[in-house]
Amino acid sequence: MKSITRQKPFSEVVQLLDRFDRVYIIGCGTCATMARTGGRDEVLEMKNRLQETGKLVTGWTVIPTACDEMTEAAARENEGAIKNANCSLVMACALGVHRVNSYLNNKAVIPALDTLFIGMEDSPGNFYEACAQCGQCVLGETAGICPLTACNKGLLNGPCGGTNNGKCEVDKEKDCAFTLIYQRLKEQGRLDLMRKYHPPKNYQVVPRPRIINLG
Amino acid sequence: MKPESKLEKVLSSGHFAVTGELGPPKSADLETLKHHAEAMRHYVESYNITDNQTAIVRTSSIGVAATLIQMGLEPNVQMTVRDRNRICLQSDLLGAVSFGVRNFLCLQGDHAKFGNEPQSKNVYDLDSMQLLQAVRKIRDEGVFIGGEKLEHPLPRIFIGAVANPFADPFEYRPLRLAKKVAAGAQFVQTQCIFDLERFEKWMEKVRELGLHKKVYILGGVTPIKSIGAARYMQNNVSGMIVPDALIERLKGAQDKKKEGLNIAVETIQRLKEIEGVAGVHVMAIAWEEVVPEIVERAGLYPRPRVE
Protein backbone atom coordinates (compact mmCIF):
# COMPACT_ATOMS: atom_id res chain seq x y z
CA MET A 1 0.00 0.00 0.00
CA LYS A 2 1.28 3.38 -0.94
CA SER A 3 -0.05 6.83 -0.63
CA ILE A 4 0.21 8.13 -4.17
CA THR A 5 1.08 11.77 -4.62
CA ARG A 6 1.74 14.22 -7.42
CA GLN A 7 3.86 17.34 -7.17
CA LYS A 8 1.88 20.53 -7.25
CA PRO A 9 2.81 22.77 -10.18
CA PHE A 10 5.86 24.78 -9.14
CA SER A 11 3.95 28.01 -9.70
CA GLU A 12 1.43 26.92 -7.07
CA VAL A 13 4.22 26.09 -4.61
CA VAL A 14 5.71 29.54 -5.22
CA GLN A 15 2.33 31.15 -4.64
CA LEU A 16 1.83 29.18 -1.40
CA LEU A 17 5.28 30.34 -0.23
CA ASP A 18 4.64 33.92 -1.26
CA ARG A 19 4.84 35.41 2.23
CA PHE A 20 7.76 33.28 3.41
CA ASP A 21 11.37 34.01 2.52
CA ARG A 22 13.03 31.25 4.58
CA VAL A 23 11.94 27.69 3.95
CA TYR A 24 12.77 24.33 5.50
CA ILE A 25 12.05 21.32 3.25
CA ILE A 26 10.88 17.94 4.50
CA GLY A 27 10.69 14.88 2.23
CA CYS A 28 9.53 11.34 2.92
CA GLY A 29 11.53 8.16 2.49
CA THR A 30 8.58 5.87 1.88
CA CYS A 31 5.64 6.53 -0.42
CA ALA A 32 6.75 9.90 -1.78
CA THR A 33 10.17 8.45 -2.55
CA MET A 34 8.61 5.56 -4.46
CA ALA A 35 6.22 7.87 -6.25
CA ARG A 36 9.23 10.08 -7.09
CA THR A 37 7.55 13.13 -5.68
CA GLY A 38 9.30 13.72 -2.35
CA GLY A 39 12.42 11.59 -2.07
CA ARG A 40 15.96 12.89 -1.73
CA ASP A 41 16.31 13.77 -5.43
CA GLU A 42 13.06 15.69 -5.55
CA VAL A 43 13.83 17.50 -2.31
CA LEU A 44 17.20 18.63 -3.64
CA GLU A 45 15.64 19.73 -6.91
CA MET A 46 13.03 21.71 -4.99
CA LYS A 47 15.78 23.30 -2.91
CA ASN A 48 17.59 24.47 -6.04
CA ARG A 49 14.47 25.77 -7.70
CA LEU A 50 13.42 27.67 -4.59
CA GLN A 51 16.88 29.15 -4.26
CA GLU A 52 16.63 30.30 -7.87
CA THR A 53 13.49 32.21 -6.96
CA GLY A 54 15.39 33.95 -4.17
CA LYS A 55 14.21 31.89 -1.20
CA LEU A 56 16.60 31.02 1.57
CA VAL A 57 16.45 27.28 2.24
CA THR A 58 17.53 26.90 5.86
CA GLY A 59 17.86 23.13 5.58
CA TRP A 60 16.19 19.93 4.45
CA THR A 61 15.65 16.37 5.55
CA VAL A 62 14.04 13.21 4.28
CA ILE A 63 12.21 11.53 7.15
CA PRO A 64 12.13 7.72 6.71
CA THR A 65 8.34 7.63 7.09
CA ALA A 66 6.93 11.10 7.43
CA CYS A 67 3.51 9.96 8.65
CA ASP A 68 4.71 8.15 11.79
CA GLU A 69 6.13 9.33 15.09
CA MET A 70 9.73 9.35 13.81
CA THR A 71 8.81 12.76 12.50
CA GLU A 72 9.01 14.08 16.03
CA ALA A 73 12.60 12.91 16.39
CA ALA A 74 13.47 14.40 13.02
CA ALA A 75 11.86 17.67 14.02
CA ARG A 76 13.92 17.76 17.22
CA GLU A 77 17.14 16.85 15.44
CA ASN A 78 16.68 19.64 12.93
CA GLU A 79 15.24 22.12 15.38
CA GLY A 80 17.77 24.84 14.60
CA ALA A 81 17.23 24.91 10.85
CA ILE A 82 13.47 24.57 11.25
CA LYS A 83 13.37 27.46 13.72
CA ASN A 84 15.47 29.51 11.40
CA ALA A 85 12.85 29.14 8.64
CA ASN A 86 9.45 30.79 8.70
CA CYS A 87 7.72 27.80 7.17
CA SER A 88 8.16 24.12 6.34
CA LEU A 89 7.51 22.83 2.88
CA VAL A 90 6.45 19.20 3.13
CA MET A 91 7.08 16.89 0.19
CA ALA A 92 5.11 13.98 1.60
CA CYS A 93 1.52 12.87 1.27
CA ALA A 94 -1.13 14.65 3.31
CA LEU A 95 -0.53 12.23 6.19
CA GLY A 96 3.04 13.49 6.38
CA VAL A 97 1.79 17.07 6.23
CA HIS A 98 -0.54 16.39 9.15
CA ARG A 99 2.18 14.70 11.15
CA VAL A 100 4.58 17.59 10.63
CA ASN A 101 1.81 20.01 11.49
CA SER A 102 1.29 18.30 14.82
CA TYR A 103 4.90 18.99 15.84
CA LEU A 104 5.38 22.39 14.27
CA ASN A 105 2.11 24.00 15.05
CA ASN A 106 3.51 27.44 15.66
CA LYS A 107 4.91 27.62 12.14
CA ALA A 108 3.19 27.36 8.79
CA VAL A 109 3.37 23.97 7.11
CA ILE A 110 2.93 24.05 3.35
CA PRO A 111 2.24 20.94 1.24
CA ALA A 112 4.20 20.64 -1.99
CA LEU A 113 2.28 17.57 -3.13
CA ASP A 114 -1.30 16.63 -3.86
CA THR A 115 -2.40 13.32 -2.36
CA LEU A 116 -4.25 11.30 -4.97
CA PHE A 117 -5.10 7.81 -3.78
CA ILE A 118 -4.00 4.67 -2.01
CA GLY A 119 -2.26 2.77 -4.75
CA MET A 120 -0.84 -0.59 -5.62
CA GLU A 121 2.19 -0.96 -7.87
CA ASP A 122 1.67 -3.48 -10.68
CA SER A 123 4.88 -2.77 -12.56
CA PRO A 124 7.76 -0.51 -11.49
CA GLY A 125 6.49 3.03 -11.29
CA ASN A 126 2.94 2.16 -12.32
CA PHE A 127 0.44 2.66 -9.53
CA TYR A 128 -3.27 2.09 -9.66
CA GLU A 129 -6.07 2.73 -7.23
CA ALA A 130 -7.34 -0.54 -5.82
CA CYS A 131 -9.39 0.56 -2.83
CA ALA A 132 -11.59 3.57 -2.26
CA GLN A 133 -11.79 2.86 1.49
CA CYS A 134 -15.56 2.84 1.40
CA GLY A 135 -15.86 1.08 4.74
CA GLN A 136 -18.05 -1.76 3.46
CA CYS A 137 -16.03 -4.19 1.36
CA VAL A 138 -17.88 -5.78 -1.58
CA LEU A 139 -14.95 -7.73 -3.06
CA GLY A 140 -16.38 -11.05 -1.89
CA GLU A 141 -19.18 -10.76 -4.43
CA THR A 142 -17.41 -8.95 -7.22
CA ALA A 143 -14.70 -11.46 -8.00
CA GLY A 144 -12.12 -9.38 -6.19
CA ILE A 145 -12.53 -6.35 -8.47
CA CYS A 146 -13.80 -3.26 -6.71
CA PRO A 147 -16.59 -1.56 -8.68
CA LEU A 148 -16.53 1.45 -6.39
CA THR A 149 -12.97 2.09 -7.40
CA ALA A 150 -12.72 0.59 -10.88
CA CYS A 151 -16.05 1.87 -12.23
CA ASN A 152 -16.06 5.58 -13.00
CA LYS A 153 -19.60 5.82 -11.68
CA GLY A 154 -18.96 3.59 -8.67
CA LEU A 155 -21.98 1.45 -9.56
CA LEU A 156 -22.87 -1.64 -7.59
CA ASN A 157 -25.54 -3.36 -9.67
CA GLY A 158 -23.86 -4.01 -12.96
CA PRO A 159 -22.57 -2.08 -15.95
CA CYS A 160 -24.16 1.09 -17.30
CA GLY A 161 -25.12 1.25 -20.96
CA GLY A 162 -21.83 2.73 -22.01
CA THR A 163 -19.59 -0.33 -22.25
CA ASN A 164 -18.00 -0.67 -25.63
CA ASN A 165 -15.95 -3.73 -26.44
CA GLY A 166 -15.18 -4.09 -22.78
CA LYS A 167 -14.01 -0.51 -22.41
CA CYS A 168 -15.42 2.30 -20.29
CA GLU A 169 -17.30 5.16 -21.95
CA VAL A 170 -15.55 7.66 -19.74
CA ASP A 171 -12.07 6.49 -20.72
CA LYS A 172 -11.70 4.33 -23.80
CA GLU A 173 -8.28 3.11 -22.59
CA LYS A 174 -9.78 1.74 -19.41
CA ASP A 175 -11.44 -1.63 -18.99
CA CYS A 176 -15.08 -1.59 -17.92
CA ALA A 177 -15.05 -2.75 -14.31
CA PHE A 178 -18.21 -4.78 -14.74
CA THR A 179 -17.00 -6.50 -17.88
CA LEU A 180 -13.98 -7.63 -15.86
CA ILE A 181 -16.19 -8.67 -12.95
CA TYR A 182 -18.52 -10.53 -15.31
CA GLN A 183 -15.69 -12.41 -16.98
CA ARG A 184 -14.01 -13.36 -13.74
CA LEU A 185 -17.25 -14.46 -12.10
CA LYS A 186 -17.94 -16.55 -15.19
CA GLU A 187 -14.53 -18.23 -14.87
CA GLN A 188 -15.26 -18.86 -11.22
CA GLY A 189 -18.69 -20.32 -11.94
CA ARG A 190 -20.33 -17.60 -9.85
CA LEU A 191 -22.24 -15.69 -12.53
CA ASP A 192 -25.40 -15.84 -10.41
CA LEU A 193 -23.84 -13.02 -8.39
CA MET A 194 -24.36 -10.70 -11.35
CA ARG A 195 -28.09 -11.09 -10.77
CA LYS A 196 -27.93 -10.20 -7.12
CA TYR A 197 -29.36 -6.87 -6.06
CA HIS A 198 -27.02 -4.76 -3.98
CA PRO A 199 -28.92 -2.27 -1.79
CA PRO A 200 -27.84 1.36 -1.47
CA LYS A 201 -24.53 1.68 0.32
CA ASN A 202 -24.41 2.72 3.90
CA TYR A 203 -22.27 5.83 3.86
CA GLN A 204 -22.74 6.15 7.58
CA VAL A 205 -19.94 3.66 8.05
CA VAL A 206 -17.60 6.37 6.88
CA PRO A 207 -18.31 9.28 9.19
CA ARG A 208 -15.76 11.96 8.59
CA PRO A 209 -13.17 12.23 9.88
CA ARG A 210 -12.83 8.46 10.32
CA ILE A 211 -11.39 7.51 13.67
CA ILE A 212 -10.60 4.11 15.15
CA ASN A 213 -9.10 3.43 18.55
CA LEU A 214 -7.40 0.06 18.99
CA GLY A 215 -6.33 0.88 22.56
CA MET B 1 -55.10 0.89 -7.85
CA LYS B 2 -56.05 2.12 -11.34
CA PRO B 3 -53.41 3.56 -13.62
CA GLU B 4 -53.36 7.34 -13.71
CA SER B 5 -50.70 7.62 -16.38
CA LYS B 6 -51.96 7.79 -19.94
CA LEU B 7 -48.90 5.85 -21.06
CA GLU B 8 -49.69 3.07 -18.64
CA LYS B 9 -53.33 3.04 -19.72
CA VAL B 10 -52.39 2.76 -23.40
CA LEU B 11 -49.94 -0.05 -22.72
CA SER B 12 -52.15 -1.95 -20.33
CA SER B 13 -55.01 -1.90 -22.80
CA GLY B 14 -52.78 -3.64 -25.29
CA HIS B 15 -52.12 -0.75 -27.67
CA PHE B 16 -48.75 -0.23 -29.30
CA ALA B 17 -47.49 2.87 -27.50
CA VAL B 18 -45.52 5.83 -28.80
CA THR B 19 -43.46 8.12 -26.58
CA GLY B 20 -41.51 11.18 -27.62
CA GLU B 21 -38.60 13.04 -26.16
CA LEU B 22 -37.85 16.67 -25.39
CA GLY B 23 -34.47 18.06 -24.42
CA PRO B 24 -34.74 21.12 -22.15
CA PRO B 25 -32.79 24.18 -23.29
CA LYS B 26 -29.71 25.81 -21.80
CA SER B 27 -31.91 28.67 -20.70
CA ALA B 28 -35.17 29.19 -18.88
CA ASP B 29 -36.96 30.12 -22.09
CA LEU B 30 -39.18 27.17 -22.99
CA GLU B 31 -40.90 28.66 -26.05
CA THR B 32 -39.17 26.42 -28.60
CA LEU B 33 -39.66 23.35 -26.44
CA LYS B 34 -43.35 24.18 -26.07
CA HIS B 35 -43.63 24.53 -29.81
CA HIS B 36 -42.09 21.07 -30.31
CA ALA B 37 -44.31 19.57 -27.64
CA GLU B 38 -47.37 21.08 -29.29
CA ALA B 39 -46.40 19.68 -32.69
CA MET B 40 -46.30 16.15 -31.25
CA ARG B 41 -49.48 16.56 -29.19
CA HIS B 42 -51.61 14.03 -31.02
CA TYR B 43 -48.78 11.71 -32.00
CA VAL B 44 -47.27 10.53 -28.71
CA GLU B 45 -48.71 9.36 -25.41
CA SER B 46 -46.14 11.09 -23.30
CA TYR B 47 -42.84 12.90 -23.49
CA ASN B 48 -39.55 11.96 -21.90
CA ILE B 49 -37.92 15.06 -20.47
CA THR B 50 -34.20 14.51 -20.27
CA ASP B 51 -32.35 15.26 -17.05
CA ASN B 52 -29.33 17.41 -17.84
CA GLN B 53 -28.59 15.15 -20.76
CA THR B 54 -24.91 14.40 -21.46
CA ALA B 55 -24.19 16.19 -18.19
CA ILE B 56 -24.93 19.59 -19.71
CA VAL B 57 -26.69 22.11 -17.48
CA ARG B 58 -30.22 22.73 -18.73
CA THR B 59 -33.64 23.57 -17.34
CA SER B 60 -34.54 20.77 -14.96
CA SER B 61 -36.65 17.87 -16.11
CA ILE B 62 -39.17 18.50 -13.35
CA GLY B 63 -39.38 22.18 -14.23
CA VAL B 64 -40.23 21.34 -17.84
CA ALA B 65 -42.70 18.70 -16.66
CA ALA B 66 -44.67 21.44 -14.89
CA THR B 67 -44.94 23.33 -18.16
CA LEU B 68 -46.12 20.24 -20.04
CA ILE B 69 -48.77 19.53 -17.44
CA GLN B 70 -50.03 23.11 -17.79
CA MET B 71 -50.31 22.41 -21.52
CA GLY B 72 -52.35 19.28 -20.83
CA LEU B 73 -49.54 16.97 -21.93
CA GLU B 74 -47.98 14.04 -20.11
CA PRO B 75 -44.31 14.05 -19.09
CA ASN B 76 -42.04 11.11 -18.34
CA VAL B 77 -39.61 12.67 -15.92
CA GLN B 78 -36.13 11.28 -16.36
CA MET B 79 -34.19 11.04 -13.13
CA THR B 80 -30.50 10.32 -13.20
CA VAL B 81 -28.51 9.39 -10.13
CA ARG B 82 -25.55 11.47 -11.23
CA ASP B 83 -26.39 14.78 -9.61
CA ARG B 84 -28.56 14.06 -6.58
CA ASN B 85 -28.20 11.98 -3.47
CA ARG B 86 -31.01 9.81 -2.09
CA ILE B 87 -32.48 12.62 -0.03
CA CYS B 88 -32.84 14.87 -3.05
CA LEU B 89 -34.02 12.12 -5.43
CA GLN B 90 -36.79 11.01 -3.10
CA SER B 91 -37.79 14.58 -2.36
CA ASP B 92 -37.87 15.50 -6.06
CA LEU B 93 -40.00 12.44 -6.74
CA LEU B 94 -42.57 13.60 -4.20
CA GLY B 95 -42.42 17.13 -5.52
CA ALA B 96 -43.07 16.00 -9.08
CA VAL B 97 -45.90 13.68 -8.06
CA SER B 98 -47.46 16.57 -6.11
CA PHE B 99 -48.16 18.55 -9.28
CA GLY B 100 -49.24 15.61 -11.39
CA VAL B 101 -46.23 13.77 -12.80
CA ARG B 102 -47.09 10.08 -13.06
CA ASN B 103 -44.26 8.62 -15.17
CA PHE B 104 -40.69 8.39 -13.96
CA LEU B 105 -37.71 6.99 -15.75
CA CYS B 106 -34.79 5.97 -13.54
CA LEU B 107 -31.37 6.00 -15.09
CA GLN B 108 -27.71 6.33 -14.36
CA GLY B 109 -26.89 9.41 -16.40
CA ASP B 110 -23.85 10.28 -18.45
CA HIS B 111 -20.69 10.92 -16.50
CA ALA B 112 -20.04 14.59 -15.81
CA LYS B 113 -16.85 14.33 -17.83
CA PHE B 114 -18.93 14.61 -21.00
CA GLY B 115 -20.71 17.80 -20.06
CA ASN B 116 -20.12 21.49 -19.57
CA GLU B 117 -19.22 21.16 -15.89
CA PRO B 118 -16.57 18.44 -16.13
CA GLN B 119 -15.04 19.45 -12.80
CA SER B 120 -18.24 18.80 -10.87
CA LYS B 121 -18.63 15.97 -8.39
CA ASN B 122 -20.47 12.91 -9.69
CA VAL B 123 -22.85 11.94 -6.92
CA TYR B 124 -23.90 8.34 -7.64
CA ASP B 125 -25.07 7.87 -4.08
CA LEU B 126 -27.49 5.35 -5.63
CA ASP B 127 -27.25 3.50 -8.91
CA SER B 128 -30.19 3.25 -11.30
CA MET B 129 -31.17 -0.17 -9.95
CA GLN B 130 -31.35 1.15 -6.40
CA LEU B 131 -33.35 4.19 -7.52
CA LEU B 132 -35.86 1.91 -9.27
CA GLN B 133 -36.30 -0.16 -6.16
CA ALA B 134 -36.58 2.95 -4.00
CA VAL B 135 -39.31 4.46 -6.19
CA ARG B 136 -41.23 1.19 -6.18
CA LYS B 137 -41.02 0.87 -2.41
CA ILE B 138 -42.11 4.46 -1.90
CA ARG B 139 -45.15 3.74 -4.06
CA ASP B 140 -46.01 0.19 -3.02
CA GLU B 141 -44.87 0.01 0.57
CA GLY B 142 -45.00 3.68 1.48
CA VAL B 143 -41.47 3.71 2.88
CA PHE B 144 -38.40 5.73 2.08
CA ILE B 145 -35.00 4.09 1.56
CA GLY B 146 -34.06 4.78 5.17
CA GLY B 147 -37.15 2.92 6.38
CA GLU B 148 -39.30 5.82 7.49
CA LYS B 149 -42.93 5.76 6.40
CA LEU B 150 -44.52 8.33 4.13
CA GLU B 151 -47.23 10.35 5.86
CA HIS B 152 -49.67 9.60 3.04
CA PRO B 153 -49.52 6.96 0.34
CA LEU B 154 -48.41 7.95 -3.14
CA PRO B 155 -50.87 7.87 -6.04
CA ARG B 156 -50.22 5.23 -8.66
CA ILE B 157 -47.12 6.16 -10.65
CA PHE B 158 -45.64 4.33 -13.62
CA ILE B 159 -41.99 3.37 -13.25
CA GLY B 160 -39.60 3.15 -16.15
CA ALA B 161 -36.02 2.21 -16.81
CA VAL B 162 -33.70 2.07 -19.77
CA ALA B 163 -32.11 -0.96 -21.38
CA ASN B 164 -29.25 -1.14 -23.80
CA PRO B 165 -29.30 -4.27 -25.93
CA PHE B 166 -26.16 -3.10 -27.74
CA ALA B 167 -23.67 -2.67 -24.92
CA ASP B 168 -21.61 -5.59 -23.74
CA PRO B 169 -21.33 -8.10 -22.22
CA PHE B 170 -24.13 -8.90 -24.66
CA GLU B 171 -25.21 -12.10 -22.94
CA TYR B 172 -25.58 -10.26 -19.65
CA ARG B 173 -27.90 -7.54 -20.98
CA PRO B 174 -31.16 -9.54 -20.80
CA LEU B 175 -30.26 -10.59 -17.25
CA ARG B 176 -29.67 -6.98 -16.39
CA LEU B 177 -33.18 -6.23 -17.64
CA ALA B 178 -34.48 -9.04 -15.42
CA LYS B 179 -32.76 -7.36 -12.50
CA LYS B 180 -34.39 -4.03 -13.36
CA VAL B 181 -37.80 -5.67 -13.62
CA ALA B 182 -37.30 -7.30 -10.23
CA ALA B 183 -36.27 -3.92 -8.82
CA GLY B 184 -39.45 -2.26 -10.03
CA ALA B 185 -39.34 -1.35 -13.74
CA GLN B 186 -42.77 -1.54 -15.38
CA PHE B 187 -41.66 -0.17 -18.73
CA VAL B 188 -38.30 0.13 -20.40
CA GLN B 189 -37.13 2.24 -23.27
CA THR B 190 -34.15 0.95 -25.19
CA GLN B 191 -31.09 2.60 -26.66
CA CYS B 192 -31.61 3.70 -30.29
CA ILE B 193 -32.04 0.65 -32.50
CA PHE B 194 -30.09 0.64 -35.76
CA ASP B 195 -28.93 -2.97 -35.60
CA LEU B 196 -32.22 -4.83 -35.75
CA GLU B 197 -30.58 -8.22 -35.93
CA ARG B 198 -28.83 -7.68 -32.64
CA PHE B 199 -32.03 -6.28 -31.15
CA GLU B 200 -33.97 -9.34 -32.24
CA LYS B 201 -31.40 -11.63 -30.64
CA TRP B 202 -31.72 -9.66 -27.42
CA MET B 203 -35.51 -9.90 -27.60
CA GLU B 204 -35.27 -13.66 -28.11
CA LYS B 205 -33.41 -13.99 -24.85
CA VAL B 206 -35.79 -11.51 -23.18
CA ARG B 207 -38.73 -13.72 -24.23
CA GLU B 208 -36.93 -16.84 -23.04
CA LEU B 209 -36.74 -15.22 -19.63
CA GLY B 210 -40.42 -14.30 -19.88
CA LEU B 211 -39.59 -10.64 -19.33
CA HIS B 212 -41.79 -9.36 -22.17
CA LYS B 213 -44.76 -10.41 -20.05
CA LYS B 214 -43.54 -8.55 -17.00
CA VAL B 215 -42.40 -5.27 -18.50
CA TYR B 216 -43.51 -3.13 -21.44
CA ILE B 217 -40.61 -2.82 -23.85
CA LEU B 218 -40.48 0.31 -25.97
CA GLY B 219 -37.90 0.19 -28.75
CA GLY B 220 -35.79 3.31 -29.16
CA VAL B 221 -35.96 4.89 -32.61
CA THR B 222 -33.95 7.86 -33.80
CA PRO B 223 -34.24 9.27 -37.30
CA ILE B 224 -30.82 9.94 -38.79
CA LYS B 225 -30.48 13.36 -40.38
CA SER B 226 -27.18 12.96 -42.19
CA ILE B 227 -24.21 10.68 -42.81
CA GLY B 228 -22.25 12.85 -40.38
CA ALA B 229 -24.77 12.18 -37.63
CA ALA B 230 -24.65 8.43 -38.32
CA ARG B 231 -20.87 8.42 -38.26
CA TYR B 232 -20.82 10.44 -35.08
CA MET B 233 -23.07 7.93 -33.33
CA GLN B 234 -21.06 5.05 -34.74
CA ASN B 235 -17.76 6.36 -33.46
CA ASN B 236 -18.49 8.53 -30.46
CA VAL B 237 -21.47 7.18 -28.61
CA SER B 238 -20.54 4.28 -26.39
CA GLY B 239 -22.91 1.36 -26.29
CA MET B 240 -24.47 2.18 -29.64
CA ILE B 241 -24.23 0.10 -32.81
CA VAL B 242 -24.64 1.80 -36.18
CA PRO B 243 -24.04 -0.83 -38.88
CA ASP B 244 -21.95 0.15 -41.91
CA ALA B 245 -24.76 -1.09 -44.16
CA LEU B 246 -26.95 1.69 -42.81
CA ILE B 247 -24.33 4.31 -43.62
CA GLU B 248 -23.93 2.83 -47.12
CA ARG B 249 -27.66 3.06 -47.61
CA LEU B 250 -27.64 6.73 -46.67
CA LYS B 251 -24.68 7.33 -48.98
CA GLY B 252 -26.59 5.84 -51.88
CA ALA B 253 -29.62 8.01 -51.29
CA GLN B 254 -30.23 11.29 -53.12
CA ASP B 255 -32.10 12.87 -50.23
CA LYS B 256 -30.32 11.85 -47.01
CA LYS B 257 -32.96 13.27 -44.69
CA LYS B 258 -35.75 11.51 -46.50
CA GLU B 259 -33.83 8.26 -46.38
CA GLY B 260 -33.20 8.78 -42.67
CA LEU B 261 -36.93 9.04 -42.16
CA ASN B 262 -37.56 5.98 -44.32
CA ILE B 263 -35.16 3.99 -42.15
CA ALA B 264 -36.91 5.15 -38.97
CA VAL B 265 -40.33 4.23 -40.37
CA GLU B 266 -39.12 0.80 -41.52
CA THR B 267 -37.52 0.20 -38.13
CA ILE B 268 -40.82 0.90 -36.38
CA GLN B 269 -42.66 -1.35 -38.79
CA ARG B 270 -40.27 -4.17 -38.01
CA LEU B 271 -40.45 -3.52 -34.29
CA LYS B 272 -44.25 -3.79 -34.46
CA GLU B 273 -43.83 -7.34 -35.71
CA ILE B 274 -41.50 -8.49 -32.93
CA GLU B 275 -43.22 -10.42 -30.19
CA GLY B 276 -42.85 -8.65 -26.89
CA VAL B 277 -42.24 -5.14 -28.21
CA ALA B 278 -44.98 -3.01 -26.71
CA GLY B 279 -44.23 0.31 -28.33
CA VAL B 280 -41.63 2.72 -29.58
CA HIS B 281 -39.79 5.61 -28.05
CA VAL B 282 -39.03 8.15 -30.76
CA MET B 283 -36.01 10.26 -29.96
CA ALA B 284 -35.70 13.02 -32.51
CA ILE B 285 -33.72 15.52 -30.51
CA ALA B 286 -33.08 18.64 -32.62
CA TRP B 287 -35.34 17.18 -35.29
CA GLU B 288 -38.60 17.08 -33.37
CA GLU B 289 -40.70 18.37 -36.27
CA VAL B 290 -40.47 15.04 -38.12
CA VAL B 291 -42.09 12.98 -35.36
CA PRO B 292 -45.68 13.34 -36.66
CA GLU B 293 -44.61 12.21 -40.12
CA ILE B 294 -42.75 9.17 -38.75
CA VAL B 295 -45.66 8.16 -36.53
CA GLU B 296 -48.16 8.61 -39.32
CA ARG B 297 -46.13 6.74 -41.94
CA ALA B 298 -45.48 3.90 -39.49
CA GLY B 299 -49.23 3.39 -39.29
CA LEU B 300 -49.48 4.53 -35.70
CA TYR B 301 -51.78 7.48 -36.23
CA PRO B 302 -54.30 8.27 -34.87
CA ARG B 303 -53.26 7.36 -31.38
CA PRO B 304 -55.71 5.31 -29.32
CA ARG B 305 -58.04 7.08 -26.93
CA VAL B 306 -58.00 5.82 -23.37
CA GLU B 307 -60.18 6.72 -20.43
Q: Residue A157 is nearest to which of B111, B127, B134, comparing CB atoms?
A: B127
Q: Is the pLDDT of residue A54 over 90?
A: yes
- Going along chain A from its start, the domains and CATH numbers come out as 2-116 (3.40.50.2300), 132-195 (no CATH)
A131/B218: higher pLDDT:
B218
**Rounded Cα–Cα distance for residues B220 and B227 (Å):** 19
pLDDT digits (tens, 9 = 90+) for B196-234: 999 999 999 999 999 999 999 999 999 999 999 999 999
State percent of chain B over pLDDT 90.
96
Task: Look at residue A206 in the predicted model and tell me its pLDDT.
Answer: 63
Q: Give chain B's domains with CATH numbers.
A: 8-296 (3.20.20.220)
Question: In chain A, what residues touch B163 (CB-CB under 8 Å)?
Answer: 161
Q: What is the pLDDT of residue A1?
A: 60
Task: Spell out the alpha helix ranges (H) of chain B.
Answer: 6-12, 31-39, 61-70, 86-98, 128-140, 173-183, 196-208, 227-236, 244-252, 256-273, 291-297
Under an 8 A CB cutoff, do B238 and A198 touch?
no
Is A203 in contact with B111 (Cβ distance < 8 A)?
A: no
> Does B277 or A106 have the greater pLDDT score?
B277
Look at residue A125 in the predicted model and tell me its pLDDT: 82
Average pLDDT over residues A96-106: 90
Q: Is the pLDDT of residue B46 over 80?
A: yes
Residue A135 has pLDDT above 90, yes or no: no
Q: What is the pLDDT of residue A207?
A: 59
| Percent share of chain B, pLDDT over 70 | 100
Quick one: pLDDT at residue B212? 98
Q: Pick the more confident residue, B181 or B2.
A: B181
Over residues A159-168, the pLDDT tens digits come to 999 998 899 9
Looking at chain B, which residue has its C-alpha nearest residue A166?
B168
Residue A178's pLDDT is 96
CB-nearest to B238 from A164, A179, A195 is A164
Average pLDDT over residues B175-190: 98
Out of A152, A156, A159, the one facing B111 most closely (by C-beta) is A152
Residue A212 has pLDDT above 70, yes or no: no
| Stronger pLDDT, A210 or B255, i.e. the higher one | B255
Question: What is the pTM (predicted TM-score) of this model?
Answer: 0.93
Minimum mean pLDDT range among A25-29, B73-77, B111-115: B111-115
DSSP chain A: -EEEEEEPPHHHHHHHTTT-SEEEEEEESSHHHHTTSSSHHHHHHHHHHHHHTT-EEEEEEEETTTTSTHHHHHHHHTHHHHHHSSEEEEES-HHHHHHHHHH-TTSEEEE-EEEEEEEEEEETTEEEE-----SS--GGGTTT--HHHHSTT--SSS--TT-BTTB-SS-TTSBPHHHHHHHHHHHTT-GGGGGPPPPPP-GGGS-SS------
Residue A13 has pLDDT above 90, yes or no: yes
Q: A63-97: buried (b, 16+ CB within 10 Å) or exposed (e) per residue?
A: bebbbeeebeebbeebeebbeebbbbbbbbbbbbb
Are B108 and A153 in contact (CB < 8 Å)?
yes
Residue B111: list chain A partners with CB under 8 A. Answer: 152-153, 169-170
> Does A183 sit within 8 Å of B113, measured CB to CB?
no
